[in-house]
Amino acid sequence: MIYVNEKEIPYTPNMTLVQVLSAAGEEADEMTLLLLNGKVMNFMHHAFEPIEDGAKIKLLHIVSGG
Amino acid sequence: MWSKLIVDMNTLSVSREPLDEDFRELGGKGLIAQYMIKNVPPQCDPLGEQNQLIFCLGIFAGTSFTTAHRLSVGGKSPLTGGIKESNVGGYAGTLLAEQGIKMIILRGLPEKEGPSLLHIDSSGKAELLDAAEYKGMGNYDLREKLAGRFGEKVATITIGSAGEMGYRSASIHVSEFGAGHPSRAAARGGLGAVMGSKGLKAIVVEKPTVRFKVEYADEGKFRETCTLVNKVIAQGAQNDPFHNIGTISTIEVTGANGILPVDNFSGKLFPAYQEVGANKFLTNLATRGGKNKLACQPGCVVQCSNCYNDANGEYLTSGFEYETIALFGPNCHISDLDSIARMDRFCDDIGVDTIEAANAIAVAMEAGKLPWGDVDATLALLSEMKEATEFGRILGDGCEAVGKHLGCKRIPVVKHQAMAGYEPRNTKGTGITYATSPMGADHTAGLTMGRAFDDAGRAAQAYASNKLQVAMCIADSMMCIFAFAHVVPVMPKLGEMMDAMYGGNYGFPRLAAMGVKTLLTERGYNKMAGMTDADDRLPEFFYKERSVATGSVFDINDYELEVLFDF
């Protein structure tokens, strides 16, 4: 199982990040950051990388500048 | 009824008067614009007798609305020569609201030597006290002395030595809620120098014995709507990187997209940007006892603030933000987060704007005054501001002063104010905002970061800048812009809150009209101060030099900039 914003997504081998988010009904773009198992990642850099079973993903959307 | 404090620095007297009826429905940025146009001559000397320094609260001050107690500071800017509103979080806004004081107005210049201190005690009595013993003190020592004298729970508004010396990049510092560090800054435009010129070193606000109660046209309706809006903002904040990490998270986006300024806005990429990014920051917090998710003022649900410790676990700085990290970091070719934190602490202590100081250092690096990426040389140069050496005084006057002194051709300023941490060739809507904002190159005036805007073409970029500049005038009149970003799904509710508080049945158009009026008033003020269309331009190199990262130039033409505000 993969967890996206606490929603459970059934795991299948070699699922990419884009596929996981699609299955969760979530959208992401260049303004989206991810917390993948607590580590910050840029969505655009990792979109087509496989996600491991048990991964916990939190989507963070930049909505304004610092 | 709300009050205003009139502080006359000529006579060293303070009077408390009812707030003007004309200003009843205004707050923050909107209130400052209307006060300035009526009371402060646009052509006055910013450090002279006729300028005034205004502190004021937002439209929803005194209520339970989240981030309602942001404090706006305004006056004629010694840096831009135009109108300036710079707002800040921290605890002072909350205590001023509890005191029933919506505005503090500083007028005149003192005849006596040595600074004064404005003390507002728990009974609401306000008086000026001699502050000679604090002369020349940095914000951190000063806060400690004031907390020792008046109690740890007071809120303080202070200037460091930079404000006393009249540096045009001098900031005004407000103590944080909780720890009380003087790390929240109304930083932009040199308003700290205006406070210094008035001879006021600090304002100390005590918690009142009797709390002021706000009047509502329909209190039940206000509370019902406010609760809903607070809930929406809190939900939105849960997936906001600023809440989960801090504003440093912005590095992860700007660094990857060519928006992060590098080597004095050279347009290059900075491959090591993650050395000053979110994971490094979170690791340092976790291993050194630092904290994020802190509220700088009571009731904030975004909680983007932080406390950053050094490698020994000792407090180093707080409110450690993206702009400081981007501009002292990659824009000076520095990739050590701890070193940048030391620069932040130094600037907070003497009281200068980190954006202005960091850009000035980058320009000095380009001119060969010090090597790119040299941390020790940067700290040594910054310390010259404190020592008031000849170059230190020039540095204190900001990026443009340093660039001109050293003969640098590439000076990233608009209206004499240094750019924030966004490369305008690669976020052109933001470049339009830099060019046309009455504030000068300002990141809070209407940031349009995002490829969707840029891919949609020039008209979309101009449209986005225009709408966001109006929206930020609304936000800065009532709340923190980070919370405002989450209001979008229920934006009309803000109009309902306004009606429930002040009466009428106007809805959101009342706020939209206020936003437009504020922006046009600010532009009108600047025009009367002598600014022209030529001041609404980016420096020439952004039009001519291609960004190495993307190949872009800033290609928004003069006509497109000049018609931006033809409403």
CA–CA separation, B364 and B403 (whole Å): 7
Q: What is the pLDDT of residue A64?
A: 65
By C-alpha distance, which of B117, B124, B119, B107 is closest to B49? B107
Burial of residue B220 (CB within 10 Å: 0-12, 13-18, 19+) is exposed
Output the six-digit token pair for B15: 């009077």
- ipTM, 2 decimals? 0.84
**How does residue A62 score in pLDDT terms, banded at 50, 70 and 90?**
confident
Is the CB of residue B364 less than 8 Å from the CB of residue B370? yes
Q: What is the pLDDT of residue A45?
A: 84
| Mean pLDDT in residue range B320-340 | 98
pLDDT at B237: 94
Residue of A nearest to B255 (CA): A42
A66–B252: do the CB atoms touch at under 8 Å?
A: no
Average pLDDT score over chain B: 96
Q: Name the token pair of B184.
A: 């929240």
Q: How many domains does chain A have?
A: 1
Whether residue B249 lies within 8 A of chain A, CB to CB, comes out as yes
Q: Do A31 and B420 touch (CB under 8 A)?
A: no
CA distance A65 to chain B (A): 7
pLDDT digits (tens, 9 = 90+) for B160-170: 999 999 999 99
Return the sign of the alpha-carbon dihedral for residues B166, B172, B175, B176: negative
Q: How buried is residue A47: exposed, middle or buried, by Cβ count under 10 Å (0-12/13-18/19+)?
A: middle
Do B481 and A64 lie within an 8 Å CB cutoff? yes
What's at B99, amino acid-wise? Answer: Q
Residue with tokens 């291609």: B546
Cβ(A6)–Cβ(B211) below 8 Å: no
At B559 the pLDDT is: 92
The angle at the Cα of B418, spanning B415 to B424, to the nearest 5 degrees, equals 90
Q: Is the pLDDT of residue B155 over 60?
A: yes
Phi then psi for residue B204, to 5 deg, are -115, 125
Q: Which residues contact B212 (CB under 8 A, 6 or more apart)?
A: B2, B62, B97, B98, B99, B100
- pLDDT of residue B460 exceeding 80, the answer is yes
Q: What pTM was estimated for this model as a whole?
A: 0.96
pLDDT tens across B507-561, in order? 999 999 999 999 999 999 999 999 999 999 999 999 999 999 889 999 999 999 9
**CATH code, domain with A11:** 3.10.20.30
User: Considering CB atoms only, which of A40, A45, A65 is closest to B278?
Assistant: A40
Distances (CA, A) of B327 to B283, B348, B359: 21, 15, 7
Q: Do B244 and A60 touch (CB under 8 A)?
A: yes
Angstrom distance (rounded) from CA B449 to CA A32: 12
The pLDDT confidence band at residue A66, using thresholds 50, 70 and 90, is: low
Look at residue B455 in the predicted model and tell me its pLDDT.
Answer: 67
CB-based contact A19:A2 (threshold 8 Å): no
Q: Which residue has the tokens 């008086």?
A: B127
Task: Describe the crossing of helices B278-288 and B337-350 by its angle, rounded to 10 degrees.
Answer: 80
For residue A33, the enclosing domain spans 2-61
Contact A33 B444 (CB under 8 A): no
pLDDT at residue number A42: 86
pLDDT attached to residue B99: 98
Higher pLDDT, B365 or B451: B365
Is A20 within a domain? yes
Helix (H, G, I), strand (E, B) or coil at B130: strand
Of B24-38, B49-63, B459-473, the one with minimum mean pLDDT is B459-473
> Helix or strand or coil: residue B496?
helix
Q: What order of strands is seen across the sheet that includes strand B13-18?
A: B13-18, B3-8, B101-107, B53-56, B71-76, B83-88
* Domain annotation covers residue A33: yes
**What are the pLDDT digits (tens) for B375-410?**
999 999 999 999 999 999 999 999 999 999 999 999
- Over residues B420-447, the mean pLDDT reads 95
What does the DSSP assignment read for B367-435?
TTSS-TT-HHHHHHHHHHHHHT-HHHHHHHT-HHHHHHHHT-S---EETTEE--SS-TTTSHHHHHHHH
Torsions phi, psi for B127 (to 5 deg): -150, 155
Option in A33, A59, A64 nearest B252 (CB): A33
Rounded Cα–Cα distance for residues B366 and B411 (Å): 10
Which residue do the tokens 């004081």 mark?
A: B101
Nearest to A66 among B250, B257, B282 (CB): B250
Do the Cβ atoms of A60 and B236 come within 8 Å?
Answer: no
pLDDT at site B303: 97
CB < 8 Å to A45, chain B:
256
Cα B206 vs. chain centroid, distance in angstroms?
A: 24
CA distance A45 to chain B (A): 8
Q: Is the domain covering B424-485+505-567 a CATH 1.10.599.10 domain?
A: yes
Q: Is residue A66, in this structure, part of any structural domain at all?
A: no
- For residue A45, being part of any structural domain is answered with yes
Q: Name chain B contacts of A21, Cβ cutoff 8 Å.
A: none
Residue B418 has pLDDT above 70, yes or no: yes
pLDDT digits (tens, 9 = 90+) for B72-85: 999 999 999 999 99
CB < 8 Å to A60, chain B? 239-241, 244-245, 249
The rounded distance, in Å, linking the Cα atoms of B376 and B339 is 9
* Residue of chain B whose alpha carbon sits nearest to that of A66: B247
Closest partner residue to A45 among B256, B282, B450, by Cβ? B256
Three-state secondary-structure class, residue B451: helix
pLDDT digits (tens, 9 = 90+) for B224-266: 999 999 999 999 999 999 999 999 999 999 998 899 999 999 9
Say what percent of chain B tops pLDDT 70.
Answer: 99
Residue A12 distance to chain B (closest CA, Å): 26
The pLDDT value recorded for residue B451 is 61
The mean pLDDT of A38-64, rounded to a whole number, is: 89
Specify if A7 maps to a domain: yes
Domain spans of chain B? 3-205, 424-485+505-567
Test B449 with A65 for CB contact under 8 angstroms: yes
**What is each CA distance from A27 to B117, B148, B150, in whole angstroms?**
53, 52, 52
Q: Tell me the mean pLDDT in the region B479-502.
A: 96
Touching A: B residues 219-248, CB under 8 Å:
236, 239-242, 244-245, 247-248
What is the distance, to the nearest Å, from the Cα of residue B269 to the centroid of all Cα atoms in its chain?
A: 27
B282-290, Cβ contacts within 8 angstroms, sequence gap of 24 or more: B282/A40, B282/B245, B284/B308, B284/B309, B284/B337, B284/B338, B285/B309, B288/B312, B288/B313, B289/B313
Alpha-carbon dihedral of residues B13, B17, B22, B28, nearest 10 degrees?
Answer: 70
Among B320, B236, B292, smallest CA distance to A60 is for: B236
In a domain, A16, yes or no: yes
Residue B203: both structure tokens together: 């304002």
pLDDT band at B566 (very low <50, low <70, confident <90, very high): confident
Q: Do B486 and A45 touch (CB under 8 A)?
A: no
Provide the total of helices (H) and of strands (E) in chain A, helices listed first: 2, 5
pLDDT of residue A27: 86
Task: Indicate if the pLDDT at residue B286 is higher than 60.
Answer: yes
**B contacts of A66 (beta carbons < 8 Å):** 242, 247-250, 321-323, 421, 443
d(CA B343, CA B364): 16
pLDDT of residue B517: 97
Closest chain A residue to the Cα of B320, Cα to Cα: A66
Contact assignment for A63 to B278 by CB distance below 8 Å: no
Q: Which residues of A touch B249 (CB under 8 A)?
A: 33, 40, 60, 62, 66
The whole-number pLDDT of residue A65 equals 62
Topology annotation, domain B3-205: Aldehyde Ferredoxin Oxidoreductase;  A, domain 1 (3.60.9)
Please report which helix (H) or strand (E) contains residue B7, including its range.
strand B3-8
